Amino acid sequence: MFWGFMRRLQRVKRSNGQLLQIREIFEKRPEQVKNFGISVRYNSRTGTHNMYKEYSDTTLNGAVEQMYKEMGGRHRAARSKIQVLTISVIRGSKCRRFRVSQFHDGAVKFALTRRRPRVGFEKHRASFRPFRSS
């Protein structure tokens, strides 16, 4: 995969290059949520397309993983057909996509679905006790 990108982007073949070291780069603050802007080029059945996507995640690897899954789901693009051009961390005020910026408000509220009464009182305890009918 690496040499395929190098051959296309920098015109360097595997026989002319040498890998000296491979290290994974970790986030400085993996507990903080950040906004990532990713520029993508991918080949579809009809041609080559450029895209800009925004994701909210704690790590860069998580944002890229979201991008691969979304591209596979929405556009049926395989990982081998996708080229990540640039990745940048962007501020909340610079986000362009509503899907990311809707959660920037501090007063975001989520609906509580399927609330059940607590089984704390004696009168409710018999209602929720399992029994086998004969």
| Dist. CA 35–CA 8, nearest whole Å | 29
Q: Tokens for 24, please give them.
A: 């994974």
Span of 80-89, 92-101, 114-123 with lowest mean pLDDT: 114-123
Q: What SS3 state is found at 55? A: strand
Tens digits of residue pLDDT in 41-77: 999 999 999 999 999 999 999 999 999 999 999 999 9
Span of 17-26, 66-75, 78-87 with lowest mean pLDDT: 17-26
Q: Which residues contact 57 (CB under 8 A, 6 or more apart)?
A: 33, 34, 36, 63, 66
